[in-house]
Amino acid sequence: MATDIKKIRNIAIIAHVDHGKTTLLDKLLRDSGTLKASEMAQERIMDSNEIEKERGITILAKNTSLTWNGYQINIIDTPGHADFGGEVERVLNMADGVCLLVDAFEGPMPQTRFVLQKAIDLGLKPCVVINKVDKENCTPEEVHEKVFDLMFELGAEEWQLDFPTVYGSAKNNWMSDDFRNQTENIEPLLDMVLAHVPAPKVSEGTPQMLITSLDFSSFTGRIAIGRLERGILKEGMPISLVKRDGTIMKSRIKELHTFEGLGRKKVQEVIAGDICAIV
Protein backbone atom coordinates (compact mmCIF):
# COMPACT_ATOMS: atom_id res chain seq x y z
CA MET A 1 0.00 0.00 0.00
CA ALA A 2 1.37 3.37 -0.98
CA THR A 3 1.63 5.94 1.80
CA ASP A 4 3.61 8.54 -0.13
CA ILE A 5 2.08 9.97 -3.27
CA LYS A 6 5.52 10.70 -4.72
CA LYS A 7 6.04 6.94 -4.80
CA ILE A 8 3.02 6.18 -6.96
CA ARG A 9 3.04 5.96 -10.75
CA ASN A 10 -0.14 5.37 -12.76
CA ILE A 11 0.52 4.27 -16.31
CA ALA A 12 -1.82 3.02 -19.03
CA ILE A 13 -0.52 0.55 -21.57
CA ILE A 14 -1.47 0.82 -25.24
CA ALA A 15 -0.63 -2.03 -27.58
CA HIS A 16 -1.84 -3.60 -30.77
CA VAL A 17 -2.89 -7.22 -30.40
CA ASP A 18 0.08 -9.62 -30.59
CA HIS A 19 2.73 -6.95 -30.11
CA GLY A 20 3.59 -8.59 -26.79
CA LYS A 21 1.65 -6.88 -24.00
CA THR A 22 0.79 -10.06 -22.13
CA THR A 23 4.34 -11.36 -22.38
CA LEU A 24 5.73 -8.04 -21.16
CA LEU A 25 3.35 -7.73 -18.19
CA ASP A 26 4.16 -11.26 -17.23
CA LYS A 27 7.90 -10.50 -17.17
CA LEU A 28 7.33 -7.23 -15.31
CA LEU A 29 5.41 -8.98 -12.55
CA ARG A 30 7.98 -11.74 -12.29
CA ASP A 31 11.05 -9.50 -12.45
CA SER A 32 9.75 -7.04 -9.88
CA GLY A 33 9.05 -9.94 -7.51
CA THR A 34 5.36 -9.05 -7.33
CA LEU A 35 3.98 -12.41 -8.43
CA LYS A 36 3.48 -15.04 -5.78
CA ALA A 37 4.97 -18.47 -6.32
CA SER A 38 1.55 -19.98 -7.05
CA GLU A 39 0.89 -17.43 -9.76
CA MET A 40 4.35 -17.95 -11.24
CA ALA A 41 3.25 -21.36 -12.43
CA GLN A 42 0.66 -19.85 -14.71
CA GLU A 43 1.70 -18.84 -18.16
CA ARG A 44 0.38 -15.75 -19.88
CA ILE A 45 -1.38 -14.14 -17.00
CA MET A 46 -3.13 -11.03 -18.19
CA ASP A 47 -5.63 -12.39 -20.69
CA SER A 48 -7.77 -14.05 -18.06
CA ASN A 49 -11.05 -13.04 -19.61
CA GLU A 50 -12.63 -15.86 -21.56
CA ILE A 51 -14.06 -13.75 -24.37
CA GLU A 52 -10.66 -12.25 -24.86
CA LYS A 53 -9.10 -15.64 -25.18
CA GLU A 54 -11.60 -16.55 -27.83
CA ARG A 55 -11.31 -13.39 -29.83
CA GLY A 56 -7.70 -12.71 -28.98
CA ILE A 57 -8.41 -9.10 -28.11
CA THR A 58 -8.36 -7.18 -24.89
CA ILE A 59 -11.84 -5.97 -24.06
CA LEU A 60 -12.10 -5.34 -20.37
CA ALA A 61 -9.65 -2.93 -18.91
CA LYS A 62 -7.90 -4.40 -15.91
CA ASN A 63 -5.56 -3.05 -13.32
CA THR A 64 -2.30 -4.58 -12.27
CA SER A 65 0.13 -3.21 -9.77
CA LEU A 66 3.76 -3.89 -9.07
CA THR A 67 6.17 -2.63 -6.49
CA TRP A 68 9.69 -1.86 -7.52
CA ASN A 69 12.48 0.02 -5.75
CA GLY A 70 9.99 1.37 -3.22
CA TYR A 71 7.62 2.62 -5.91
CA GLN A 72 4.14 1.38 -6.60
CA ILE A 73 3.49 1.23 -10.32
CA ASN A 74 -0.19 0.85 -11.22
CA ILE A 75 -0.55 -0.48 -14.74
CA ILE A 76 -3.86 0.17 -16.42
CA ASP A 77 -4.77 -1.96 -19.38
CA THR A 78 -6.59 -0.21 -22.22
CA PRO A 79 -9.09 -1.86 -24.55
CA GLY A 80 -7.41 -2.42 -27.90
CA HIS A 81 -10.59 -1.61 -29.75
CA ALA A 82 -12.30 1.62 -30.75
CA ASP A 83 -15.73 0.01 -30.08
CA PHE A 84 -15.10 0.69 -26.44
CA GLY A 85 -14.66 4.43 -26.91
CA GLY A 86 -16.35 5.54 -23.71
CA GLU A 87 -14.36 3.08 -21.68
CA VAL A 88 -11.05 4.25 -23.18
CA GLU A 89 -11.51 7.78 -21.94
CA ARG A 90 -12.59 6.73 -18.44
CA VAL A 91 -9.69 4.34 -18.14
CA LEU A 92 -7.10 6.84 -19.39
CA ASN A 93 -8.34 9.31 -16.79
CA MET A 94 -6.75 7.14 -14.12
CA ALA A 95 -3.28 7.45 -15.67
CA ASP A 96 -0.55 10.11 -15.59
CA GLY A 97 1.37 8.58 -18.46
CA VAL A 98 1.02 6.00 -21.21
CA CYS A 99 3.29 3.27 -22.41
CA LEU A 100 2.95 2.58 -26.13
CA LEU A 101 4.16 -0.89 -26.95
CA VAL A 102 5.10 -1.47 -30.60
CA ASP A 103 6.40 -4.45 -32.51
CA ALA A 104 9.86 -3.69 -34.00
CA PHE A 105 8.91 -5.52 -37.18
CA GLU A 106 5.32 -4.40 -37.77
CA GLY A 107 5.56 -0.85 -36.46
CA PRO A 108 2.63 1.15 -35.05
CA MET A 109 -0.75 -0.12 -36.25
CA PRO A 110 -3.79 1.99 -37.21
CA GLN A 111 -5.89 0.28 -34.51
CA THR A 112 -3.88 1.91 -31.74
CA ARG A 113 -4.41 5.42 -33.14
CA PHE A 114 -7.72 5.93 -31.39
CA VAL A 115 -6.44 5.24 -27.88
CA LEU A 116 -3.18 7.09 -28.49
CA GLN A 117 -5.11 10.11 -29.75
CA LYS A 118 -7.17 10.18 -26.54
CA ALA A 119 -4.04 9.84 -24.42
CA ILE A 120 -2.35 12.74 -26.23
CA ASP A 121 -5.45 14.90 -25.97
CA LEU A 122 -5.64 14.20 -22.23
CA GLY A 123 -2.08 15.51 -21.90
CA LEU A 124 -0.50 12.24 -20.79
CA LYS A 125 3.25 11.72 -21.12
CA PRO A 126 4.03 8.95 -23.62
CA CYS A 127 6.78 6.38 -23.13
CA VAL A 128 7.56 3.99 -25.97
CA VAL A 129 8.59 0.35 -25.85
CA ILE A 130 9.80 -1.15 -29.11
CA ASN A 131 9.46 -4.88 -28.57
CA LYS A 132 10.56 -7.98 -30.49
CA VAL A 133 13.91 -6.58 -31.59
CA ASP A 134 15.09 -10.19 -31.62
CA LYS A 135 13.01 -10.76 -34.76
CA GLU A 136 14.93 -11.16 -37.95
CA ASN A 137 14.71 -8.25 -40.39
CA CYS A 138 13.05 -5.99 -37.84
CA THR A 139 13.67 -2.25 -38.16
CA PRO A 140 13.65 -0.65 -34.70
CA GLU A 141 14.99 2.72 -35.88
CA GLU A 142 12.40 3.06 -38.62
CA VAL A 143 9.68 1.99 -36.21
CA HIS A 144 10.83 4.68 -33.78
CA GLU A 145 10.56 7.24 -36.57
CA LYS A 146 7.09 6.01 -37.48
CA VAL A 147 5.97 6.35 -33.87
CA PHE A 148 7.28 9.91 -33.86
CA ASP A 149 5.44 10.71 -37.11
CA LEU A 150 2.25 9.18 -35.74
CA MET A 151 2.37 11.25 -32.56
CA PHE A 152 3.12 14.37 -34.58
CA GLU A 153 0.14 13.63 -36.81
CA LEU A 154 -2.07 13.18 -33.77
CA GLY A 155 -1.14 16.64 -32.57
CA ALA A 156 1.23 15.75 -29.75
CA GLU A 157 2.89 18.74 -28.11
CA GLU A 158 6.64 19.19 -28.02
CA TRP A 159 7.05 17.69 -24.55
CA GLN A 160 5.04 14.66 -25.69
CA LEU A 161 7.08 14.29 -28.90
CA ASP A 162 10.16 14.23 -26.72
CA PHE A 163 9.15 10.75 -25.54
CA PRO A 164 11.67 8.30 -24.09
CA THR A 165 12.06 4.91 -25.76
CA VAL A 166 13.35 1.52 -24.69
CA TYR A 167 14.00 -1.36 -27.06
CA GLY A 168 14.09 -5.03 -26.31
CA SER A 169 12.54 -8.43 -26.30
CA ALA A 170 9.84 -9.20 -23.77
CA LYS A 171 10.08 -12.82 -24.78
CA ASN A 172 13.80 -12.96 -24.01
CA ASN A 173 13.35 -10.86 -20.89
CA TRP A 174 15.39 -7.77 -21.66
CA MET A 175 14.97 -4.07 -22.38
CA SER A 176 17.62 -1.48 -23.21
CA ASP A 177 18.11 2.15 -24.19
CA ASP A 178 19.88 0.85 -27.28
CA PHE A 179 18.63 -2.14 -29.27
CA ARG A 180 22.19 -3.13 -30.20
CA ASN A 181 23.05 -3.40 -26.56
CA GLN A 182 21.22 -6.36 -25.06
CA THR A 183 20.80 -6.29 -21.28
CA GLU A 184 20.03 -8.93 -18.64
CA ASN A 185 16.57 -7.75 -17.57
CA ILE A 186 13.65 -5.43 -18.20
CA GLU A 187 14.62 -2.91 -15.54
CA PRO A 188 15.46 -0.16 -18.10
CA LEU A 189 11.73 -0.08 -18.85
CA LEU A 190 10.87 0.42 -15.18
CA ASP A 191 13.56 3.09 -14.90
CA MET A 192 12.01 4.88 -17.87
CA VAL A 193 8.58 4.88 -16.23
CA LEU A 194 9.91 6.22 -12.93
CA ALA A 195 11.96 8.91 -14.66
CA HIS A 196 9.35 10.16 -17.11
CA VAL A 197 5.87 9.52 -15.80
CA PRO A 198 5.01 12.13 -13.18
CA ALA A 199 3.69 11.25 -9.73
CA PRO A 200 -0.08 11.77 -9.50
CA LYS A 201 -1.30 15.32 -9.10
CA VAL A 202 -3.98 15.66 -6.46
CA SER A 203 -6.14 18.53 -5.32
CA GLU A 204 -6.59 19.70 -1.74
CA GLY A 205 -9.86 19.04 0.01
CA THR A 206 -12.31 16.46 1.19
CA PRO A 207 -12.13 12.96 -0.31
CA GLN A 208 -13.38 12.68 -3.87
CA MET A 209 -13.18 9.75 -6.23
CA LEU A 210 -14.35 9.27 -9.80
CA ILE A 211 -15.67 5.76 -10.29
CA THR A 212 -14.23 4.30 -13.48
CA SER A 213 -15.64 0.80 -13.45
CA LEU A 214 -17.84 -1.50 -11.42
CA ASP A 215 -17.23 -5.00 -10.24
CA PHE A 216 -19.35 -7.44 -8.32
CA SER A 217 -18.59 -10.08 -5.75
CA SER A 218 -21.25 -12.53 -4.58
CA PHE A 219 -19.70 -12.34 -1.10
CA THR A 220 -19.42 -8.63 -0.63
CA GLY A 221 -21.64 -7.02 -3.26
CA ARG A 222 -21.00 -4.11 -5.56
CA ILE A 223 -17.45 -2.83 -5.92
CA ALA A 224 -16.52 0.57 -7.31
CA ILE A 225 -13.09 1.00 -8.90
CA GLY A 226 -11.40 4.29 -9.60
CA ARG A 227 -8.68 6.75 -8.76
CA LEU A 228 -8.93 8.78 -5.60
CA GLU A 229 -8.58 12.40 -6.68
CA ARG A 230 -8.62 14.11 -3.29
CA GLY A 231 -8.21 13.30 0.39
CA ILE A 232 -7.91 9.98 2.17
CA LEU A 233 -10.39 7.10 2.24
CA LYS A 234 -10.66 4.90 5.30
CA GLU A 235 -12.47 1.68 5.95
CA GLY A 236 -15.84 2.31 7.61
CA MET A 237 -15.96 5.92 6.47
CA PRO A 238 -19.35 7.44 5.60
CA ILE A 239 -19.53 8.56 1.97
CA SER A 240 -21.98 10.07 -0.48
CA LEU A 241 -22.46 8.28 -3.74
CA VAL A 242 -23.42 10.66 -6.54
CA LYS A 243 -25.35 8.82 -9.20
CA ARG A 244 -25.32 9.62 -12.90
CA ASP A 245 -28.60 11.56 -12.61
CA GLY A 246 -27.22 13.66 -9.78
CA THR A 247 -29.09 11.99 -6.93
CA ILE A 248 -27.03 11.46 -3.82
CA MET A 249 -27.09 8.30 -1.78
CA LYS A 250 -25.52 8.07 1.67
CA SER A 251 -23.43 4.99 2.20
CA ARG A 252 -20.47 3.63 4.10
CA ILE A 253 -17.20 2.02 2.95
CA LYS A 254 -17.36 -1.61 3.97
CA GLU A 255 -13.94 -2.59 2.67
CA LEU A 256 -11.11 -0.90 0.81
CA HIS A 257 -8.74 -2.61 -1.56
CA THR A 258 -5.70 -1.58 -3.56
CA PHE A 259 -4.24 -3.53 -6.46
CA GLU A 260 -1.31 -5.86 -5.98
CA GLY A 261 0.05 -8.02 -8.77
CA LEU A 262 -2.97 -9.47 -10.52
CA GLY A 263 -5.11 -9.38 -7.42
CA ARG A 264 -6.30 -6.98 -4.77
CA LYS A 265 -5.27 -6.42 -1.20
CA LYS A 266 -7.48 -5.27 1.68
CA VAL A 267 -6.17 -2.03 3.20
CA GLN A 268 -7.27 0.31 5.99
CA GLU A 269 -6.64 3.48 4.08
CA VAL A 270 -6.03 4.84 0.58
CA ILE A 271 -4.32 8.13 -0.27
CA ALA A 272 -5.18 10.45 -3.14
CA GLY A 273 -3.47 9.51 -6.39
CA ASP A 274 -3.83 5.80 -5.81
CA ILE A 275 -6.24 3.48 -7.63
CA CYS A 276 -8.55 1.49 -5.41
CA ALA A 277 -11.63 -0.66 -5.15
CA ILE A 278 -14.38 0.20 -2.66
CA VAL A 279 -16.88 -2.34 -1.37
Give the footprint of ligand GDP on this chain (CB under 6 A): 15, 17-23, 131-132, 134-135, 169-171
Q: Which lies closer to ligand GDP via its Cβ, residue 48 or residue 220?
A: 48
Shortest distance (Å) from residue 127 CB to ligand GDP: 17
CB atoms under 10 Å from CB of 207, counted, come to 16
Shortest distance (Å) from residue 220 CB to ligand GDP: 30
98, 104, 105, 162 from 136: Cα distances, Å: 28, 10, 8, 28
Q: Which lies closer to ligand GDP via its Cβ, residue 75 or residue 267?
A: 75
Shortest distance (Å) from residue 57 CB to ligand GDP: 8
Shortest distance (Å) from residue 17 CB to ligand GDP: 5
Q: How many CA atoms lie within 13 A of 21 on its CB side?
A: 24
DSSP class of residue 137 equals T
Task: Please report the DSSP string for 205-222 in residue order.
Answer: SS-EEEEEEEEEETTTEE
Residue 193's contacts (CB-CB under 8 Å, 6 or more residues apart) are 9, 11, 73, 97, 99, 127
Q: Which lies closer to ligand GDP via its Cβ, residue 116 or residue 271?
A: 116
Shortest distance (Å) from residue 225 CB to ligand GDP: 22
66, 94, 138, 184 from 26: Cα distances, Å: 11, 22, 23, 16
How far, in Å, CA of 165 to CA of 178, rounded? 9
Q: Which lies closer to ligand GDP via its Cβ, residue 8 or residue 170?
A: 170
Shortest distance (Å) from residue 250 CB to ligand GDP: 42
Tally helices (H) and strands (E) across the chain: 8, 16
Q: Which lies closer to ligand GDP via its Cβ, residue 21 or residue 227?
A: 21
How far, in Å, CA of 43 to CA of 215, rounded? 25
The pairing of beta strand 97-103 with beta strand 8-15: parallel
Q: Which lies closer to ligand GDP via its Cβ, residue 106 or residue 229?
A: 106
